[in-house]
Amino acid sequence: MPDPIVLPRLTRVRGATARSTTWWGRAFVRSFEELTVEAAELVTARTLARSGRLGAIVVLEAMSSAVIDPGGTSPLMAQVRVDRLDAAGWTTFAQEAARESGYAAALEAGDLPADLVEHADEAGAEVLPGPGDIDTACECDAWTQPCRHALALLYQLAWQVDRDPYVLLLLRGRTRETLLAEVGALAAGGSAPGAEEREQARVRAAQVLALASDAPTGHGLADAAVAAYDEAVSRLL
């Protein structure tokens, strides 16, 4: 697993700075705001996000966390989990990005072209997470999630995503380095990095499933047929 990104603690945020300005930042905000049961919670969460009460934000592949009121008498940790886009989806996205040099250059520069995301989406790779891809947790006693603390974390993440779309792509499961390497390899006419390993994994999985359909019945390892079956599966795994 790559090293986490640690986003510095934001001091009190005011005015226009607290609003997402990029199309991908606004799309991210829409995705988690749809999860909220009470509209009033959004107002409270935005106030909390602007207050400077959140500590540094840690971003890992498909996960982020922050402590609210670090150093205070009752600190709370809020977490956000985002469903990963699978390897096939990322390869599709990279293929779309490699089709035009402008897309690759934009990604290198830290931009996320709307046309690229739209084309990838039409090809079956939804890079931007939807409401169903986002889950939250918090140490508070809120009856529902996302609570105001998790929403505050999400709002701060949206401001960071504005500055760097790779924060969003990391939440979706891909690092900048891995994605750009895959796009570069495809643009140069090669195969995507890791394609051979993924194909080998696919073949192994198919073989395991085939063995499972013919799995012998018996009484554990004392039964020779069961032992042979287990040995065959262990070689594949």
Residues 43 and 26: their CA atoms lie apart, in Å, by 16
Q: What is the pLDDT of residues 32-47, one digit of tens each?
A: 999 988 889 999 999 9
> Mean pLDDT, the chain, as a whole number?
82
Residues 104 and 98: their CA atoms lie apart, in Å, by 6
Work out the widest C-alpha separation in the chain, in whole angstroms. 73
What residue type is 170 in one-letter code?
L
Ramachandran area for residue 52 (φ above 0: left; ψ -120 to 50: alpha; else beta): left
Q: What is the pLDDT of residue 10?
A: 78
Residues 223 and 217: their CA atoms lie apart, in Å, by 9
Q: What count of other Cβ atoms lies within 10 Å of the Cβ of residue 31?
A: 19
Cα–Cα nearest to 138, from 233, 19, 223, 45: 45
Q: What is the pLDDT of residues 11-33, one digit of tens each?
A: 766 654 457 889 999 999 999 99
Q: Up-side HSE of residue 50: CA atoms within 13 Å toward CB?
A: 14
Q: Where are the domains of the chain?
A: 5-187, 195-236
Q: Phi and psi (nearest 5°) for 124?
A: 105, 10
- In 5-85, at which residue ranges do the beta strands (DSSP E only) sit? 5-7, 57-60, 63-68, 76-82
Q: What is the pLDDT of residues 104-147, one digit of tens each?
A: 999 999 999 999 999 999 999 999 999 999 999 999 989 889 99
Q: What is the pLDDT of residue 178?
A: 95
Q: What is the pLDDT of residue 132?
A: 95
Which DSSP category does 72 fall into? S
Which two three-digit tokens encode residue 202?
């696919």
Residues 225 and 196: their CA atoms lie apart, in Å, by 33
Q: What is the pTM of this model?
A: 0.77
Q: What is the pLDDT of residue 213?
A: 47
Which two three-digit tokens encode residue 14?
């005011």
